[in-house]
Amino acid sequence: MLGDLQAAGKNAAESIQLLDRLRAGGDESEATTIALALAYAIQAQILDNQNDAAGPVAGKRALELLAPLAEAPNASVAARTVYVGVLARRGYEQQADNQNEDAVHTEEQATRIAAELGARDLSNIDMAALYAEAAAWQVAALQNLGRNEDARRVATDAMAIGDKVLERRPGYRLALHAEQVIEGGLTNVAQNDLNPVEALRSARRDEGISRTLLNLDPNSTVSANNLGSGVQSIGDALWAGGKLHEALPYYSQALDYFERASAAGAGQIILNSYVRGTVAHQQAVTGDFSAAAATLARGAPSLEKLRLKEPAGGMPLILVEAIGHAGEADAALEHGDLPTARRLAHQVMDQMRAIKPERGVQEVQKYVTLFWSGDVAGQAEYMLGNYAAAVGAEREAVEARKKYLTEAINDRRDVAEKATWLAMSLAKQGHLDEALQVIGPVVLFHRELAAKNHGDRWQPLELASALYAEALADPKKRAALLREAAALTDGLAAELRPLGDVRRWRERIQKAQQGAG
């Protein structure tokens, strides 16, 4: 499969060179320009799979070539048709790079032109499928922006069109793919609404569509990846609903599909590494440290393959090695091996500070890894009593997370959790005013979430943690805040209460109530 991708990449590059020479020689005909734009679009997709920052550059070039033709008053149907597909792909790249406002605009333009070409009345069934595909990535971008109602509205419209396409042409893979992406977006919308029951419904629909797509093309790395994502989302919904042990098999199953997709190239291997780290973390949280170690060890074959393909100082190899160490640090932290967690996490932070990624997806991957390792280092330093070092690590983690922060509630919960550890560390150093400045917005945010929580079992613990941090920073309100925090931890779901993390929070709160924390 990797050889096929390399051959396709070579063919696209050769086509671009030939067509560029034709245009330079004076052939600026519509047919030549469209062919060149398509070659750039194909090259963009291949480079994206290889985690190459040149992918979005090629995608942008395809749009630049087509725009004068497709946006002209008397534009041909051929130019506009190709333009819709290139716009849809460009919007995907933009939302993947966290340029969500741009992605919404791009996909709105794609769906508008698709509708003009017969998408909504299905006079052009291929354009209807493209309409659904463009709208699917618009849903993803809207969800990232926290515009949940807009995301639902666009999703409902696009699903209706996708369903009509599939009624006429069952098994049409582009329409199926669009519906799979839409269901994935709706899963995230439900998670942001703290509604794990609704998230589970969407995740199961996502998984079903993804399985159909993979059955239609068992060799498709895209379908294998998407099935892995759907299965992982089922695990996430169960986890959020407090059904931890039901969730774990789904996480392991998701890894099987992500690994099956690794033939797509370095980008997929990097994604697999992050997923392994997430799965290992969930296993370690539940106390299954042998399973966490085995999960992390599953990355060794992919790493060896990457070493044969990538230069020693290349970004993909550095990232995969660093992600693996971050996962080991995380598991060590959960196991209580604080010195190992601290050592490995700082090692990863040093690596991430030193690399110079290209702008775009590589830059995001750097900050994801720096945020993760910085948080592990900060927690380890805090529990070792090294509060100044904890402040430094958590401050770096929070700042790294802001580099790719969206308005989605789950992203904001993520940064709020790390800000809680930062505030605790500041308070332990006696910097009470700064600690209050950090934790005040976090407590307000979580109080607002608590008022509209529809069954997320972890959010009360996050609020209790923030209240504990505020109690450290505000002696006048300490007793009342600690009472509220204690009540929240006492009321946690039954499956959460025995967890090591939960026990440690309860101990901190109890000691603080006794005047020892």
What is the C-alpha separation between 496 and 42, in angstroms, rounded?
Answer: 47
Which tops the pLDDT comparison, 420 or 301?
420
Q: What is the mean pLDDT of residues 72-88?
A: 93
| Closest to 265 in 3D by CA, of 316, 327, 211 | 316
For residues 357 and 439, membership in a common domain is answered with no
pLDDT of residue 258: 94
Whole-prediction pTM: 0.91
For residues 418 and 356, membership in a common domain is answered with no
Q: What is the mean pLDDT of residues 265-287?
A: 93
For residues 330 and 397, membership in a common domain is answered with yes
For residues 398 and 427, membership in a common domain is answered with no
Least confident of 3-17, 47-61, 88-102, 295-309: 3-17
* pLDDT at position 5 over 60: no
Write down which residue in 402, 436, 454 finishes a domain.
402
Q: Residue 440 falls within a domain, yes or no? A: yes
* pLDDT at position 8 over 70: no
pLDDT of residue 9: 60
Q: What is the mean pLDDT of residues 94-106?
A: 92
Question: pLDDT per residue over 451-498, tens digit each?
Answer: 999 999 999 999 999 999 999 999 999 999 999 999 999 999 999 999
Q: Residue 178 falls within a domain, yes or no? A: no
Inter-residue contact 183 to 202 (CB < 8 Å): yes
Q: Residue 103 falls within a domain, yes or no? A: no
Q: Residue 375 falls within a domain, yes or no? A: yes
Which tops the pLDDT comparison, 24 or 350?
350
Label residue 403 by pLDDT band (50, 70, 90). Answer: confident
Q: Residue 343 falls within a domain, yes or no? A: yes
pLDDT of residue 4: 53
Write down which residue in 387, 402, 417 finishes a domain.
402
SS (H, E, C) 378-406: HHHHHHCCCHHHHHHHHHHHHHHHHCCCC
Q: Residue 215 falls within a domain, yes or no? A: no
Write down which residue in 402, 424, 454 finishes a domain.
402
Label residue 404 by pLDDT band (50, 70, 90). Answer: confident
For residues 326 and 346, membership in a common domain is answered with yes
Label residue 517 by pLDDT band (50, 70, 90). Answer: low
Q: Residue 394 falls within a domain, yes or no? A: yes
Q: What is the mean pLDDT of residues 237-249?
A: 97
For residues 409 and 477, membership in a common domain is answered with yes
Which tops the pLDDT comparison, 364 or 182?
182
For residues 510 and 414, membership in a common domain is answered with yes
Long-range own/partner contacts, residues 178-181 (CB < 8 A, 24 or more apart)? 178/129, 178/132, 178/133, 178/135, 178/136, 179/132, 179/136, 179/209, 180/206, 180/209, 180/210, 180/213, 180/226, 180/230, 181/133, 181/136, 181/137, 181/139, 181/140, 181/226
pLDDT of residue 394: 97
| Closest to 344 in 3D by CA, of 317, 314, 322 | 322
Question: pLDDT per residue over 214-227, tens digit each?
Answer: 999 999 998 999 99
Q: Residue 131 falls within a domain, yes or no? A: no
Q: What is the mean pLDDT of residues 353-379?
A: 91
pLDDT of residue 1: 43
For residues 441 and 333, membership in a common domain is answered with no
Average of per-residue pLDDT values in the chain: 92
Q: Domain of 509?
A: 405-517
Structure tokens at 93: 């790249």
Question: pLDDT per residue over 29-64, tens digit each?
Answer: 888 888 888 888 888 888 877 667 778 888 888 888
Q: What is the mean pLDDT of residues 355-366?
A: 84
Q: Domain total for the chain? A: 2
Label residue 3 by pLDDT band (50, 70, 90). Answer: very low
For residues 398 and 497, membership in a common domain is answered with no
For residues 444 and 504, membership in a common domain is answered with yes
For residues 294 and 372, membership in a common domain is answered with yes
* pLDDT at position 392 over 90: yes
For residues 308 and 390, membership in a common domain is answered with yes
